[in-house]
Amino acid sequence: LYVAEKLAERAEHQLGQDQAHYLRDVMRLKPGDPVRLFNTQDGEYLAYLGTVARKAMSVICEKQLAEAAPPPDIDFVFAPLKHARLDYLVQKATELGARRLRPVYTARTIVDRVNLDRMKANAVEAAEQCNLVYVPEVFEPEKLDRLLAKWPADRALIYCDERSDGADTIALLKGLKLPAALLVGPEGGFTPEEREGLKRLPFVTVISLGPRIMRADTAGTAALAVVQAVLGD
Ligand code: SAM
């Protein structure tokens, strides 16, 4: 279970309603049963259930099981998609070890408001389900050109372009070093102006994911898997 507060030996935490419901009604746990707690800063702890009541449930940390384990320094920069597709993308990006999630508005982005709490909840749920000891940091959405204007020169930006010339993707990725970020566009792709602008930036590497055009959520997932395979741990 993800607990945002500081985890330490003998620390006691009150669980929220959703977590309490899950442990009590779904997992059928009782006072004294063990649970695994984690967060990005403190790692993973073995804890035991204290109170188990309808409204209140507490857990008491016993010992640390694992140190915090941030994934390789790869950000995922993406145009927010609609509802279920965004949920999917956030879950998969978390499972695939994106360190930060950065939604960006591009010219053809059709979603104009992003539910950050829902994004965070999806990231937490994916981390819990996959026993990760890390939840990616979720950033407020911003315009792509604003983000690019303050881009740190030492972070490689890997831009997925379905119209790229088919250069060897693996060889291009092997030539890069972390920190890095991966950029995937919205359902309607990038405009010609955006594509030309991106290609001119010194920190950008353009890659292809093959000759087939994928939906944005598929492309993001596939691209993260490839980037992790070549540059990750
Ligand atoms: N512009 C295209 C169109 O409307 O026909 C489709 C854009 S695609 C659905 C959305 C995003 O996925 C693109 O901006 C790109 O970043 C990524 N993408 C999809 N297929 C890709 C591929 N084969 N190679 C690289 N990137 C791809």
Radius of gyration (C-alpha) of the chain in whole angstroms: 20
State the closest ligand 1 atom to the C-alpha of 212, by its place in the atom list counted from 1.
23
Among 89, 105, 182, 213, name the best residue to mutate to test ligand 1's pocket (greatest count of ligand atoms within 8 A of Cβ).
213
Greatest Cα pair distance, the chain, in angstroms, is 61
Q: Rounded distance, CA 227 to CA 222, Å? A: 9
Among 208, 212, 214, name the best residue to mutate to test ligand 1's pocket (greatest count of ligand atoms within 8 A of Cβ).
214
Least confident of 16-20, 39-43, 128-132: 16-20
For residue 10, what pLDDT is reported? Answer: 94
The neighbour count for residue 163, using CB atoms within 10 Å, is 12
The neighbour count for residue 112, using CB atoms within 10 Å, is 8
pLDDT of residue 54 exceeding 90, the answer is no
Residue 79 CA to ligand 1 centre (angstroms): 12
**Domains along the sequence of the chain with CATH:** 12-66 (2.40.240.20), 74-231 (3.40.1280.10)
The answer, yes or no, to whether any atom of ligand 1 lies below 6 A from the CB of 205, is no
The answer, yes or no, to whether any atom of ligand 1 lies below 6 A from the CB of 210, is yes
For residue 35, what pLDDT is reported? Answer: 95
CB 216 within 8 A of CB 81: yes
pTM > 0.90: yes or no = yes
Among 92, 144, 160, name the best residue to mutate to test ligand 1's pocket (greatest count of ligand atoms within 8 A of Cβ).
160
* ipTM rounded to 2 decimals: 0.96
